[in-house]
Structures are given as structure tokens and as C-alpha cells.
A and B are shown apart, each in its own frame.
Chain A
Amino acid sequence: MAYFMGIDIGSGTSKGVVTRDGEVLAYHLLPSGANYRAAAEKLRAELLAKAKLSSQDIAYTVATGQGSASVPYSDGQVTDIRCCARGISKIFPSARTVIDVQAQSSQVIRLGERGQVVNFVVSEKCAAGSGRFLEVIANVLQVELEDIGPLSLKSKRPVAFTTGCAVFGESEAISRVAEGNAKEDILAGVHQALADKISTLVERVGLEKDCTISGGGALDIGLVRSIEEKLSLKLLVPPQPQLVTALGAAIMAEEMAA
């Protein structure tokens, strides 16, 4: 029996998936921290324990993500763009556009009929369209990350953010707090600013339905709703959006081993 491993070392979170015959056997997530190599080692140990396997049972491992070069036990590296595409196609075969909102950047990928990447665009060196922007603002507002989404949905009058920059966004959020705006209105404003930025990326790559969202940003229901509103469509959201790329890496591992 052959088992495969997909390891996605992101700048915020490291994710891993073990598959057998294309089906997920075990998965695990942990913070990447400052040492990607240590995170990769720990991730493998956790995955093997959950799957009740030893490292010899794994036929092939594909590493992806920002820290992919720091995975000492990988057999191959594939870009997160390709892995994300492969992972989302497995979950939603009808997907033609993926919005992947990661901690440090966002990317929009256009898929062909066989789930292959036909075009993609990545946000430039700027955290404004990424999850990091949300973290910065949540910190200012002293709101837990998982509460951002539900809280923002209560907003009646979203605050308009005039800047798209995460650094200036922080000072702007502080100004809005000082003006006495409610947290939910500020958060809804941040979501709209992010949705604006992301929809520009979608425009650049060309929208084709079905459109899906992945990455940690997809856990934020407020952000998902804002993007849906902006693009006038319903996004397909996978049950565990953070694992999509690691799943894709495991699928690539199966293909590359063949």
C-alpha cells in the first residue's frame, strides 16, 4: 500500500496531508514559527503519528510554500500555485478560478478543464491584499482572529478605508477607533478594502466560473461575503481551505512517484 505526503510550509502556518489512493488519511497544521526546518520535522512527526505510519511507509513527499526548500525529507518541490490548483480541482472539479488568500500575499489562479494552471497573478510585494492585513487590524481592535468574520457581518455602516496599504491601514484603523466607530464597522471596511484589492487581481487574470476561495483568508466569513458581493457571485468554499495546497502537494506526490 503506497502513502504520499504533501507538506506546505507557509509564512504563518505549516500544513501537511497524508493520502492513500487520492484520499486524505491524516492532516495536521501548526504555526511555522521562525524555524521552517523544525516546523517541517514536527509536522511530519505529527502526521505519521496521526496516520499510524512510519517514515518508510511514505513513498513520495512533495514540499511547497514559502519554506519548501527547508523540508529536508522532501522528494520534490512544486510551486504553491500549481499545488493549490491541483488541490482545489480535487475538491471542486468544476472550479475555473481560485482566489488563494495567504498570510503574506494573495494569488488568483485560472484553471483549465483538467485542473491545470492556465494563468495566475500574485499580489505584489505588499501585504494589503493578504491575511496579514487582517491580523494587523485585529490586533489594533483587540479582536480574536476567528471572531473577525462573524463580528464584521453585524456591521450596518462599514467605514471606508482610503488606503490599500497594510502599514498605513493600521494608522487609519487607529484613527477610526479614535473617531468612535464601532469595531464591526471598521472590520467590515477592512474586508471591503481587501475585496477591492483581490477583485483587481481577479480582473487581471480574467474571471471564469466556478470561482473558489482557499487559504487562511477563506476562514473569514466576512471577507468571503465581501468578495462575493464585489464579484456578484457565490464562492465555493472548501471545508478546510487552509489544507488545499498541502492536499494538492500530496496529489502531485502521487503523480510524480508514478
Chain B
Amino acid sequence: MVMSEMETGLDRARAIYQDRTRRARELKAEGKQVIGYFDIYPVLEMLTALDLVPYRILGDMNEPITKADACLPTVVCPFIRSVMDLGLKGRYDFLDGVVMAHGCEVAEKTAHIWRTYLNPAYAHFIDTPHTTHTAALEQHKELLKDFKKTLEAFAGKELTLEKLRQAIEVHNEQRLLVRELYDLRKPDPPLISGTETLQVLVALASLPVTEGNELLRQVIRQAHERRDGPRIQPARLLLWGSIIDNTAIIDLIESLGANVVMDDTSLGSRAYFPLVEQTGDPLDGLANRYLVALKSPRTFRETVLTKTKRKDYLADLENRFSYLKDYAQEWKVNGVILEVLRYCDIHGYEVPGLKDYLDHIDLPSIYLEHDYSQAALAQLRTRVQAFLEVIG
């Protein structure tokens, strides 16, 4: 048994969070191939079906960006600049290949820059459409067929329908387990803190899916059994935003008298909640899940027209954000933090409408912008503190 298998549950999640590549490197030593991916749009089931290990490429808030400025403008998303920086510094040199998608414009450009500068053995780019129209869905399915072809060529074996169905099943199992993990946050006090949840999520993004599922079962069991979980706090918060892959922000919030009990971010519920429907042709279910069912501001959804065929602002907001109202009710949330990375246009554009919606449903919110560095977090402290005073 290797070292990393000796820890269990939350200890294991924390250990992997602190040293993300450890398990991936062990698997490499056992002869497995590890494929890095960006964001939530690459279809992971295809990797799993071919026995390739999916490994999510994340940034590092503690590492100053020094190399990436040579190939990316400084006025783009600092998370992606950090990711590129780590790539250039060799932190992802253990990857056998990468699959990236058109999450946003910066991610798209970075995918090509990554390929040029780092020249991985396997690189595939999925040009994920940005709308959910029928034509876009058909196009998405065709793009997944291309992805399947290049992966089969790389793996040197056929991706059978049966294997794909099995992979969908095991990934859906993970999604249901993540829902169970999130259910632990519904009681007051929650059975698991926001910081612990993030450590588990980062671990999931660093492990093969079956190992992730085992970890989730351990954590869920442990959270029910232990007596030293989080304490009741006056504020129960929902964290909405782009990506949070470092516990520093949640630590900061939770240290000020709040429990972060729910999130809508791309490493959290957004990435896991929608399931893949098992369809006759599995590609139909996958194409639909990864384009239509995933709810992210990067995908445009047509405004709902009222009976009079006129655009109605509130109906549009309701259509876009009512799931957040459901979250707030189910997780008994009394405040929302809108976290946006500097220069993240797609989340930035979403904020005015989302804020209007939250005002409309009487849910207090605060907008926090940061530039993805630990040093910049101190100035957020006063704002979070003042927000907690307002809602408390």
C-alpha cells in the first residue's frame, strides 16, 4: 500500500489538497496515463472509459506570476495567468496530455498557447458552443465525436459504448455523492465546514473517479460520526463566483463568524450537480449535460418572453437565477457573497442582474473582487466583516 492510501476521509482530503500531484505521480509510476483538463467542459467520462486519469489543472494563489506575463496579457483573468505560469514552471510536467475547452475567450487562447509553449504529447481542444440552441447542441455532439477519435488514437484502443456507459455511471455516482456531501451542510451547525468541503472538492479534482467516490463515502461517514464539527454561527452564506481553489478566502469568511454552507462556483456544485442522462447513444446524454444542463454564465440562455411576447426583466432574472433561490431556501442561507476574479468578464457581466435578483428576493449580498493572490485578501476582510454586521 502506498503512503497516500493510509489516510482516510477528511485527513486524506486535506493531504491531497496540500499536495495535489502526489497521487497522480504515484499513478504515473504504476503506468497510468494522466490527462490534465481545464474548467468544467471537457467530458471526463471519455477519459475514464479509456482508463486515462483526469486531473484538473488549477492555479496557485501563493505562487507569484512571473513567467506567464511573457505569453499572456496582464489584463486577463489572474487564475488563468497563474495556471499558465505553473505550466511554464514545469508544475504540470507529469501530465501525458491535456484537454481544454472554450470555457471563455481567455481559456480558449490559453489552450492554444499551452499547446505551443508546452507541446504535450496529446492536446485536444473542444470548441464548446456558447448557446443552447438545437443547432449548438448538434454541433456539440459532433465536437465530442472528434474528441473521442483523437483520444482513441492517443490511447491506442477503441472507446466502446459499453465502457462509456459504465464511465457515465461511475461519474454520476460521484455527482450524487457530492450532493450527499452538500447535504451535510444543510443542518445548523453544518456537519462539514466550507473549508473542509473545498479540500474535498480539490481532492476530487486530483483523483481518479473511483478513488474520489471512495473518499466521498469516507468523508460523509466521518462527518456524521464526529462530534467536533463546525459550530453554529450567525451567518449562513452562499458563495457565488468563478473559481475558488484555495481555502484562504473561505477561511477568512468563516473566521469572521459565518459558515459557508453552499456555493455556486466552478469547482463546487456547478461542476457536479447536473447528472448525465443515459441515452441510447451516450453521446446525446453527454452533449446535453455538458452544454445545456451545466449552468454557467459563460453559456447564453435565451431571454424568456412573456405572453405578450415582450421581454420582461424580472422573468428573465427568474429564469436565470431561480436555482439560487432554491439553494438559499434548502440550505437556509441568509447572505450571498458574489466573488469575482478581476478581469473575469463573464462573471462580471452577470453581477448587476444577479444583484437585482437577490435584492428582489430580499437576500442580502456583497460583491467582492480580488486578483487571485493571498496578499490581496486582507483588504476583503473589512468588507466581509461589515457585511456580516449588516446581515447579523
Question: Are A and B interaction partners?
Answer: yes
Binding site for B on A (CB under 8 A): 78-82, 117-120, 122, 124-125
Question: Other than the known A81-B382, A122-B383, A125-B371, what 4 A-B pairs have Cβ atoms closer than 8 Å?
Answer: A79-B385, A79-B386, A82-B389, A125-B376
Given contacts A117-B390, A125-B371, contact A79 B376 (CB under 8 A): no
| Alpha-carbon gap, A118 to B390, bound state (A) | 6
Tell yes or no: B134 within 8 A of A by CB.
no
Q: Which residue of B lies closest to A117 (CB)?
A: B390
Q: Which residue of B lies closest to A81 (CB)?
A: B386
Q: Which residue of B lies closest to A116 (CB)?
A: B390
Tell yes or no: B379 within 8 A of A by CB.
yes
Q: Mark B348-392, 1 if CB is under 8 A from A, else 0.
A: 000000000000000000000101000010010011011001100
| Alpha-carbon gap, A124 to B379, bound state (A) | 9
**A-B contacts at CB below 8 angstroms, number:** 24
Q: Which residue of A lies closest to B383 (CB)?
A: A122
Closest-CB distance, B7 to chain A (whole angstroms):
35
Across the interface, A120 reaches (CB within 8 A) one of B369, B371, B379, B386, namely B386
Q: Nearest 6 pairs between A and B by C-beta?
A: A81-B386, A79-B386, A79-B385, A79-B382, A117-B390, A82-B389
A119 and B390 contact, CB distance less than 8 A: yes
Note all chain B residues with C-beta closer than 8 A to A79: 382, 385-386, 389
Note all chain B residues with C-beta closer than 8 A to A80: 382
Note all chain B residues with C-beta closer than 8 A to A82: 386, 389
| Alpha-carbon gap, A82 to B376, bound state (A) | 22
Note all chain B residues with C-beta closer than 8 A to A124: 369
| Alpha-carbon gap, A81 to B390, bound state (A) | 10
Closest-CB distance, A31 to chain B (whole angstroms):
21
B382 and A120 contact, CB distance less than 8 A: no
Closest-CB distance, B371 to chain A (whole angstroms):
7
| Alpha-carbon gap, A84 to B166, bound state (A) | 60
Note all chain A residues with C-beta closer than 8 A to B379: 125
Most chain A CB within 10 A, of B376, B379, B385, B386, is at B386
Given contacts A80-B382, A81-B382, A125-B371, contact A120 B376 (CB under 8 A): no
Closest-CB distance, B384 to chain A (whole angstroms):
9
Closest-CB distance, A66 to chain B (whole angstroms):
8
Closest-CB distance, B98 to chain A (whole angstroms):
33
| Alpha-carbon gap, A122 to B369, bound state (A) | 11
Note all chain A residues with C-beta closer than 8 A to B386: 79, 81-82, 117, 120
Note all chain A residues with C-beta closer than 8 A to B371: 125
Closest-CB distance, A97 to chain B (whole angstroms):
15
Note all chain A residues with C-beta closer than 8 A to B383: 122
Closest-CB distance, B61 to chain A (whole angstroms):
16
Given contacts A81-B382, A122-B383, A125-B376, contact A117 B369 (CB under 8 A): no
Note all chain A residues with C-beta closer than 8 A to B385: 79
| Alpha-carbon gap, A209 to B379, bound state (A) | 29
- Listed A/B pairs (11) with beta-carbon separation below 8 Å: A79-B385, A79-B389, A80-B382, A81-B382, A82-B386, A82-B389, A117-B389, A122-B382, A122-B383, A124-B369, A125-B376
